[in-house]
Amino acid sequence: MKKTSHLAIYSVSEWQKEYIKERLPEAEFPEELRGDYEIISVFVSDKIDLTKFPNLKFIAARSTGFDHIDLKECDKRNIIVANVPDYGRNTVAEFAFALLLALSRKVFESYEVVQTTGKFIRDGLTGFDLKGKTLGVIGTGSIGSRVIEIGRGLGMEILGCDPNKNLNIKYLELESLLAQSDVITIHVPYNEKTHHLLNKKNIKRIKKGAYLINTSRGGIIEQKYLVKALEKEQLAGAGLDVLEDEENLLKNKYSKKLISLPQVIVTPHNAFNTKEALIRILDTTVENIKGFKNGKIINRVNS
């Protein structure tokens, strides 16, 4: 009779399975989020029902964010949760600028012109320089600080908003940053404090003609009022790698609207997705699991 492993890894590709197996030979890769496991590793898109894991002791989140895990219930059951705190500093920051540059230089519109006409027609494709524009960075931690470095390299003026004023930049309260920034980019974690951080009240404060980039979490922005700001042309455009209700995009009328707006680029929560970042995620996850098994907890996120 096959002995059941106490370790389950969810939502991994074939190459990731091979990579993990070399380092954790006992790992299993079930499809269903349930079982008699003491240790599980889940991705950010996995929706976990903790009642399906009666003997669970440790969750290794393969992400920096952990809003998909019920930490209160984990604390009640003495389940330890660990994350990957710093895999995407360069990766996510670079993607934020990929979205911004696609908007500022009308990359998709330019591509479509050539594809549909077979000609080099530049009518309506005039963009704008980033040099000299004001970049407002909401959240100046690991990723936000890298965004600032890139922005400075492009000659942008920098403003920051963060309770921890950890960098040598000009910090403002949120509404002031929104009012003064030509480009706003979000790099805060998603939690109770940041839910709808941009909302009906303060979205109105955004500088007319500004651009908004979000590679963090969809729930940080109240989408109804983001749509209104775009329709009224208060916001000139947005690059969104995340939306609210990502599992039911076309059933959420505001997500559906954002996808359809021509001045909005929506990508499928893909900012993290480079080979280098995925390997960093796997390496840290393996370290977290081995640490737990050896009685040395690292990267713990709950009490």
Residues marked active site are found at 217, 246, 269
Angle between helices 223-231 and 253-260 (to 10 degrees): 30
CA distance 29 to 27: 7
CA distance 121 to 67: 46
Residue type, 138: I
Neighbours of 295 (CB within 10 A): 6
Q: Which helix (H) or strand (E) holds 61?
A: strand 58-61
Please state the length of the chain: 303
Q: Which helix (H) or strand (E) holds 98?
A: helix 89-104
Q: What is the arrangement of strands in the sheet containing 39-42, beginning at the earlier edge strand?
A: 7-9, 39-42, 58-61, 80-82
